[in-house]
């Protein structure tokens, strides 16, 4: 299906592309002829303000799998899928208060670098290689594929050209400029993402003929499909295997969220590049508030599409386009592209720019973090005493090679039934182990290097046991049980190995976790809003 762009839509999208590339190149320019250092390239000279940190966190996080995949899940499942967003808002508070201060005090570039400080180089190397493989063969390839798939669905562009176009777009400004170019363009990307996404939601609700305006439209879809507004699914629900009831609130989703927001390089790197701990924590609060409104952008449109397409009278009133390519439960991922087709000319261009912003910003973030890990955790360890200029050039070359590999691999994902599930499955295999290694390294002084090494080695076999031997276990429960088993491995080996605290343990005290009043107020508000939402839509 295609959504029928007008000249105005193409002009709006073209203006967005020129703006992003222009700002990215301007930020990347040499200032007073000064040569970029590794600190400039990988950590944006530690100059990011709170609003840049917050915007960049969300821009790195949101991509095609949210716009297309979560809208599709909203169509098929309902508001329950919003747990990924609302629980992430609470997770960000935990990361900002308890994890981030330790990382900033350690003055690190990468997550593997912290692992060496706390454990040893063996564990650092294993995790660095793991992250490189996941970023290149899972994250980069899936974002390219899903983005190109969305463009093909919306505009009819062949998949390979979509892959190449997105890769070129992200590469033009991010490879040369590094994290500065990525983070500052992310501020603009988030504006397009939020404005374009909210415009789509507004017009989708306003398009309901039986409703009088957007508020009435929201009431209409709530009354027409109350089952789509259940946050906690019971065991009889067909999607219980994906969102296992209270297990969502109490189980494996915490493992996935805390790993992703606390120890995932391409996310936490933004906070590491902040001007100060205070700015980083304020940025995390900003990102938490953005997380609360994201379901309005990526989930509610899917529910609106469900209501719009299950009423024959509404379909008849919506016109010719609405009767074509109607999404079904088997084609739920068509929900968002189908809605774009209902938008007026001009707004389509803004909405498509929002989708492109989500895709390109994620690509640029992943490229920068891939180059950071390879350069600082692999290359620099093998080639000591390299110049700053050499490190920056290696970083650029690494990002370019990673992008080429992802472009070559991305089309092969067409053989998968669900690319979004592909991301979750493969990252979920290792996230419990990585989360356990970091958690015990941060807060248990007796955790030893050997215990972390064995946890890294056994994490995937443990996850595979719960996936392939315990048949029918929900994926989130698999992650929760895997985390518990790997944690037990760390505790048992550490207890058997030593009775004294590790000399490499980071000394912690209450001052580490003291936060500004602004952070505390923001945290209380976020927690209260999320709790209220769960109470309302229980």
Least confident among 41-45, 217-221, 421-425: 421-425
Asked whether the predicted pLDDT for residue 249 surpasses 90, the reply is no
| Predicted pLDDT at 160 | 93
CA–CA distance, 57 with 264 (Å, rounded to integer):
11
Q: Does residue 240 have a pLDDT over 80? A: yes
- Mean pLDDT over residues 288-313, rounded? 88
pTM over 0.85: yes
Pair 74, 303: CB distance under 8 Å: yes
* pLDDT band at 415; cut points 50, 70, 90: low
C-alpha count within 13 angstroms, C-beta hemisphere, residue 493: 18
User: What per-residue confidence (pLDDT) applies to 73?
Assistant: 86
Closest CA to 218 of 283, 318, 321, 303: 303
What tokens appear for 377 in the block?
A: 């955790």
- Per-residue tokens: 436: 């356990």
CB-based burial label for 7 (10 Å; 0-12, 13-18, 19+): exposed
Under 8 Å between Cβ of 364 and 61: no
47 neighbors 180 (Cβ within 8 angstroms): yes
Region 129-145: mean pLDDT is: 89
Return d(Cα 167, Cα 173) in angstroms, integer: 11
- How many CB atoms lie under 10 A from the CB of residue 27? 18
| Rounded average pLDDT over 493-518 | 89
Given a cut of 70, whether residue 374 has pLDDT beyond it is yes
For 465, residues 6+ apart whose C-beta sits below 8 A from its C-beta are none
Closest CA to 241 of 67, 51, 474, 404: 474
Centre a 10 Å sphere on the Cβ of residue 179 and count the other Cβ atoms it contains. Answer: 31
Q: How far apart are CA 46 and CA 109, in angstroms?
A: 10
Band (pLDDT 50/70/90 cuts) for residue 241 is confident
* 212-235: average pLDDT: 89
pLDDT greater than 90 at residue 488: yes
pLDDT of residue 239: 84
Tell me which DSSP letter residue 31 carries.
S
For 421-460, letters b (16+ CB in 10 Å) and e give: ebbbbbbbbbbbbbbbbbbbbbebbbbbbbbbbbbbebbb
3-state secondary structure of 178: coil
Tens digit of pLDDT for each residue in 188-219? 888 888 888 898 899 888 878 777 888 898 99
The pLDDT of residue 251 is above 90:
no
Residue with tokens 């050039």: 393
Q: Torsion-angle region of residue 46: left (phi > 0), alpha (psi -120 to 50) or beta?
A: left
Mean pLDDT, residues 369-395: 91
**Beta-bridge partners for 48:** 274
Phi, psi of 302 (to 5 degrees): -65, -40
The CA-to-CA distance between both ends of the chain, in Å, stands at 36
Return the pLDDT at 363: 92
Secondary structure (DSSP) of 404-467: HHHHHHGGGGGGSS-HHHHHHHHHHHHHHHHHHHHHHHHH-TT--HHHHHHHHHHHHHHHHHHH
DSSP string, 469-499: TSTT--HHHHHHHHHHHHHHHHHHHHHHH-S
Q: What's residue 398's pLDDT?
A: 95
In DSSP terms, 151 is beta-bridged to none
Q: Are 256 and 423 in contact, with CB atoms under 8 Å apart?
A: no
Higher pLDDT, 519 or 325: 519
pLDDT of residue 39: 87
pLDDT at 36 over 80: no
pLDDT digits (tens, 9 = 90+) for 88-124: 999 999 999 999 999 988 888 899 999 999 999 999 9
According to the model, what pLDDT value does residue 315 have?
62
Q: Which residues of 362-389 are buried (b: 16+ CB within 10 A; e: fewer)?
A: bbbbbbbbbbbbbbbbbbbeeeeeeeee
Query: Whole-number mean pLDDT of the chain?
Result: 87
Residue positions counted in the chain: 538
Query: Which has the higher per-residue pLDDT, 153 or 425?
Result: 153
Question: What is the structure's pLDDT at 255?
Answer: 92
Q: Of all residues in the chain, what percent carry a pLDDT higher than 90?
A: 45
CB 165 within 8 A of CB 157: yes
The model's pLDDT over 53-80, given as tens digits with 9 standing for 90+, comes to 999 999 888 887 788 878 888 888 899 9
Q: How far apart are CA 300 and CA 198, in angstroms?
A: 10
- Mean pLDDT for 395-408 is 95
Long-range contacts, 212-217 (Cβ 8 Å, 24+): 217/304
Listed residue (123, 95, 220) closest to 434, CA to CA: 123
What is the separation of C-alpha 498 from the centre of its chain, rounded to a whole number of angstroms?
38
According to the model, what pLDDT value does residue 440 have? 96
């Amino acid at each position: 299906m295609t959504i029928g762009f007008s000249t105005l839509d193409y002009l709006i999208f073209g203006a967005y592309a020129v703006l992003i590339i222009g700002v990215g190149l301007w930020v990347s320019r040499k200032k007073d002829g000064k040569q970029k250092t590794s600190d400039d390239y990988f950590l944006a000279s530690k100059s990011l303000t709170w609003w840049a940190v917050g915007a960049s966190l969300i821009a790195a996080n949101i991509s095609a799998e949210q716009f297309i995949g979560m809208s599709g899940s909203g169509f098929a499942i309902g508001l329950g899928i919003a747990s990924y967003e609302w629980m992430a808002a609470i997770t960000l508070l935990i990361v900002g208060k308890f994890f981030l201060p330790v990382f900033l005090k350690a003055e690190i570039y990468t997550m593997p670098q912290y692992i060496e400080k706390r454990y040893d180089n063996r564990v650092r190397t294993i995790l660095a290689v793991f992250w490189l493989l996941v970023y290149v063969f899972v994250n980069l390839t899936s974002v390219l594929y899903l983005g190109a798939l969305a463009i093909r669905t919306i505009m009819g562009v062949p998949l390979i050209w979509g892959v190449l176009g997105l890769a070129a777009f992200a590469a033009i400004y991010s490879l040369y400029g590094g994290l500065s170019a990525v983070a500052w363009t992310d501020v603009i990307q988030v504006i397009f993402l939020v404005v374009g996404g909210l415009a789509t939601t507004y017009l989708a609700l306003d398009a309901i003929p039986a409703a009088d305006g957007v508020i009435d439209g929201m009431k209409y879809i709530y009354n027409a499909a109350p089952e789509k507004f259940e946050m906690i699914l019971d065991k009889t629900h067909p999607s219980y295997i994906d969102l296992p009831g209270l297990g969502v609130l109490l189980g494996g989703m915490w493992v996935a969220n805390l790993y992703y927001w606390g120890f995932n390089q391409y996310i936490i790197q933004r906070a590491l590049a902040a001007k100060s701990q205070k700015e980083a924590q304020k940025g995390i609060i900003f990102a938490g508030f953005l997380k609360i409104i994201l379901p309005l952008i990526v989930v509610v449109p899917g529910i609106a599409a469900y209501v719009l397409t299950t009423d024959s009278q509404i379909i008849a009133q919506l016109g010719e386009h609405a009767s074509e390519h109607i999404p079904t439960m088997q084609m739920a991922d068509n929900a968002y592209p189908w809605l774009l087709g209902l938008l007026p000319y001009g707004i389509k261009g803004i909405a498509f720019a929002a989708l492109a912003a989500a895709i390109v910003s994620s690509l640029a973030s992943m490229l920068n973090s891939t180059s950071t890990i390879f350069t600082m955790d692999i290359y620099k360890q093998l080639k000591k005493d390299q110049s700053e200029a050499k490190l920056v050039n290696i970083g650029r070359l690494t990002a370019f090679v990673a992008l080429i590999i992802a472009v070559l691999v991305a089309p092969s994902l067409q053989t998968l039934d669900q690319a979004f599930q592909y991301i979750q499955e493969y990252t979920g295999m290792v996230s419990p182990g990585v989360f356990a290694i970091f958690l015990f390294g941060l807060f248990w002084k007796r955790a030893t290097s050997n215990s972390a090494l064995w946890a890294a080695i056994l994490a995937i076999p443990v996850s595979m046991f719960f996936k392939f031997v315990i048949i029918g276990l929900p994926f989130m429960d698999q992650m929760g049980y895997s985390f518990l088993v790997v944690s037990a491995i760390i505790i048992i080996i550490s207890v058997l190995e030593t009775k004294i605290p590790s000399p490499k343990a980071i000394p912690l005290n209450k001052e580490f976790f003291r936060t500004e009043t602004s952070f505390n107020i923001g945290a209380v508000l976020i927690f209260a809003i999320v709790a209220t939402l769960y109470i309302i839509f229980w």
